[in-house]
Amino acid sequence: MTKRANGDGSITRMKNRDLYHGRVYVTTTSGQIKRVSVYGKTRDEVREKMTALQAQEDQGIPTPDTNMKIADYLAYWLVAVVRVNRRPKTYQGYESVVRVHLVPGLGNRKLRTLKATDVRKWLAQVASTCQCCVNKVDQERPEPRCCAVGECCEDRLSRRMVQWIHAVLRNALENAVREELILRNVAKLVQVPTPDYSAGKGLTVPQARLLLREAGKDRLHALYVLALAMGMRRGELLGLHWSAIDLERGTLIVASNLQRVDGSLQLGPTKTASSLRTLPLPPLVLVALREHQERQAQERVAAGERWKDSGLVFTSRVGTPIEPDNLRRSWYPLRERLGLTLRFHDLRHTCVTLLLDLGVPPHIVRQIAGHSDIGVTMKVYAHASLDEQRKALGSLSETLG
């Protein structure tokens, strides 16, 4: 046998184990040349792994040498990457997914040895988890009754939630690839079921008119007008400043968003860059805002020294910001009087759907709603009403007849 050249590596059969052990010198991500071990059930399997490592070495691709566990890496990623580069609300959502789902399921595995099959099997288990078990982990509640007796309820995680969990893992591993901790993102190789992006029921034109008429008795009447006529999000409405409104020129700038993050109300930027927009104010909205401005001036006088000037359009009776979840104190009684079961967010859906039904071009609707992409406008909202479908098919029938 000829002598092996430097770097060729060696293969030996392990004693007392039905495995072969290969060793090859490569450059690692730490910049050092180290001897890396690979294992396989056959000599050919080990040789293939060694050849792949040597091919990466020839291409100048370093071999990851970290033994970091996924839990440790995710903790680092949240603090050093997500908290620094993402908005507080995004960080809060990522941290919740990491704590409740990723760490319990994959935390003890090594980052560099994670496989696509591991991710696929784990996601299948996540999709079959009942919601009460998730709540137990998230809120540190005692064991729910259904789990205590060895059974689970039928309230499974939604497809959208499974997709979100997968997206967080995929983003985390993509950063690990950029930092050369791993060679590829195995989460990208795993497919998850596409969620059903239904836009909710929405209101018909008569229902919307009835809601606005009934809301006229509420101190937040203008808020409902803006939600229905402008399609603004809840956080955008509650974070709206008078300085962003020009009643003389009839314009409104959507530039801020009020959210509860880490236990406190925070006024931050809009949801996406596309959500930052300037909108014209139609007559219906102008009238409602002027009336609201007069009502707020009266409340300021009534509050006296208790008034806290926040500059916001929609506030409590003493001028402080309105807790987003507390908006339901106004919304729930209103919808119950009308016999509705809609969410407040469905008012935004109503605005977008009615604009499309009126024949407004989708790119204009996208600008009004502040969607990040026109695909969102068309995929989620552009569902024709039954009357529109009947009209279209009737026209085709007449043509064919």
User: In this predicted structure, what is the pLDDT of residue 148?
Assistant: 45
Cα-only R_g, the chain = 29
**What is the mean pLDDT of each successive set of 10 residues along the chain, which is 401 residues long?**
59 82 81 81 88 82 78 91 87 93 94 92 87 57 47 71 94 91 90 67 87 92 94 92 94 88 78 83 94 95 92 93 89 92 89 84 86 70 58 78 69
Q: Report the candidate in 203, 197, 177 with the shortest Cα–Cα distance to residue 189.
A: 177
Say which amino acid occupies 246: D
Q: What is the rounded distance in angstroms from the CA atom of residue 344 to the CA atom of residue 346?
A: 5
Q: 3-class DSSP state for residue 373?
A: coil
Q: Is 113 left (phi over 0), alpha (psi -120 to 50) or beta?
A: alpha
Q: 3-class DSSP state for residue 35?
A: strand
Contact assessment for residue 186 and residue 114, using Cβ atoms and an 8 Å cutoff: yes
User: In this predicted structure, what is the pLDDT of residue 320?
Assistant: 93
CATH number given to 70-189 = 1.10.150.130
Phi, psi torsion values for 3, nearest 5 degrees: -70, 135
Q: What is the rounded distance in angstroms from the CA atom of residue 73 to the CA atom of residue 174?
A: 12
Q: What is the rounded distance in angstroms from the CA atom of residue 244 to the CA atom of residue 252?
A: 6
Q: How is residue 16 annotated by DSSP?
A: T
Q: Which architecture characterizes domain 205-388 according to CATH?
A: Orthogonal Bundle (1.10)
User: In this predicted structure, what is the pLDDT of residue 200?
Assistant: 56
Which sign, positive or negative, has the C-alpha torsion 142, 148, 154, 158? positive
Q: What is the rounded distance in angstroms from the CA atom of residue 121 to the CA atom of residue 212?
A: 50
Beta strands in 206-342 (DSSP E): 245-246, 251-254, 257-261, 264-268, 277-280
Show the tokens assigned to 9.
Answer: 């590596």
Phi, psi torsion values for 196, nearest 5 degrees: -90, 105
User: In this predicted structure, what is the pLDDT of residue 374?
Assistant: 72
Q: Estimate to the nearest angstrom the gap between the alpha carbon of 11 and the chain centroid.
A: 48
C-beta pairs of 96-99 under 8 Å, 24+ apart in sequence = 96/138, 97/164, 97/165, 97/168, 98/74, 98/168, 98/172, 99/137, 99/138
